[in-house]
Amino acid sequence: MSAIKRSILVSGASSGIGRAISQRLLLEGHQVIGLCRDLSRFSSHPGFTGIRLDLSRLEDIQPIASKLQKDFPALDAVVFAAGYGQFGGLEQFSFSQITELMTVNFTAQVFLTKTLLPGLKHKPHVNLVYIGSEAALKGSRNGTVYCASKFALRGFTQALREECGKSPVKVTLINPGMVDTGFFDTLAFAPGKQPSQFIKAEDIADAVAYILKAGTHYVIDEINLSPANRVIEFKK
């Protein structure tokens, strides 16, 4: 494994998993370019540059991503950590809710990848790390749209890995179980409160750090992380 300091783009950097990943990478001395909806939520750090981008606005992705690639020519890794959850029976969703959930969790990731990929292929070593979900492994009740977005992302990364097989680009998907973050603030359920019943955002950051340090002669396809004891608590 190498300890080369790198220039890394992280989407969803202002909160939750993306924030924990950004903080871990900064601690290791990497340069972090963070895509955030709200730049004020990330305190200043000499190694961090925040760029405002709302991934629900697909028309903004290509011009902003193209500009940041010019502004940060050393960029050689991307962590796709943006996303959100919405659950319920399919009939409870409006058409606009379906569109936005699929856009942020899947389509925006594809747009961002397509924009950055041609330039990244010219680098000697590149990592694309996508934060998926255990919802990409098995469909669940009240998860029709959310599971669909994560299944789509998993299929995309599997196919992209094959497409990039002869290039320096390594594609990895991390599928976490229930992570104790603000993800559950607006939901009717949350993981249990005992330490064995949830994953911490820092655990995901550890996995990302491991992937980025891995040797160039192999690919880490997927990492599945689950709490030791899976417990769901419903809010009153």
Per-domain residue ranges of the chain? 7-234
Residue 96 burial (10 A CB sphere; 0-12, 13-18, 19+): exposed
58 and 108 in contact (C-beta within 8 Å)?
A: yes
- CB within 8 Å of 197: residues ≥ 6 apart: 178, 191, 227, 228, 229, 230, 231
Q: State residue 232's pLDDT score.
A: 84
Q: Which two tokens stand for residue 179?
A: 């992570």
* Confidence at residue 32, expressed as pLDDT on a 0 to 100 scale: 96
> pLDDT value at position 186?
78
pLDDT of 1:
42
- Give the pLDDT of residue 3: 53
Give the CA diameter of the chain: 53
The per-residue pLDDT for 210 is 96
Taking only the tens place, the pLDDT of each residue in 31-68 is 999 999 887 777 678 899 999 999 999 999 999 999 99
CATH number of 7-234: 3.40.50.720
The whole model's pTM is what?
0.94
Spans of the chain, pLDDT less than 70:
1-4, 43
CA–CA dist 18, 14 (Å, integer): 7
Structure tokens at 36: 């955030």
Report the C-alpha gap between 112 and 118 in whole angstroms: 11
Q: Are 201 and 79 in contact (CB under 8 A)?
A: no
